[in-house]
């Protein structure tokens, strides 16, 4: 628990307020992955269809690592950590390509569902 417990209380508030509408790190982890990094590397992203009526929160305050340290697996937190990254131009292009291809694939899957 953090010194003042504010992060834990906010997580509890999110869970109480939004219930099953909240899409949290534990939803992405499921029973398959131990960490968010593993899930991301495996392209275990939810489809847009599965995210309908869901709410996602990002923890953007500094230091984000204090929030991660509450449970390094992120399975108990209700918000996803927004990590800052410095990317060179090649990595930025790759990230854009992956994001747009994910969106295209998701829309195609949603049409089938």
Mean pLDDT comparison of 6-10, 59-63, 81-85, 103-107, highest-scoring range: 6-10
pLDDT of residue 97: 54
pLDDT grade for 51, boundaries at 50, 70 and 90: very high
pLDDT tens string 18-44: 999 999 999 999 989 998 888 888 888
Domain ranges of the chain: 6-84
- Residue 55: predicted pLDDT: 94
Biggest CA–CA distance in the chain, Å, is 49
pTM of the model: 0.69
CA distance 86 to 109: 32
């Amino acid at each position: 628990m953090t010194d003042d417990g504010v992060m834990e209380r906010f997580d509890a508030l999110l869970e109480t307020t939004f219930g099953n509408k909240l899409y949290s790190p534990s939803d992405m982890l499921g029973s398959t992955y131990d960490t968010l990094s593993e899930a991301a590397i495996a392209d275990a992203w939810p489809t847009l269809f599965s995210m309908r009526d869901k709410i996602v929160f990002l923890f953007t305050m500094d230091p984000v690592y204090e929030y991660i340290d509450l449970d390094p697996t992120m399975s108990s937190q209700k918000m996803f950590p927004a990590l800052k990254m410095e990317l060179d131009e090649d990595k930025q292009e790759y990230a854009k390509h992956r994001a747009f291809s994910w969106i295209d694939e998701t829309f195609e899957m949603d049409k089938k569902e």
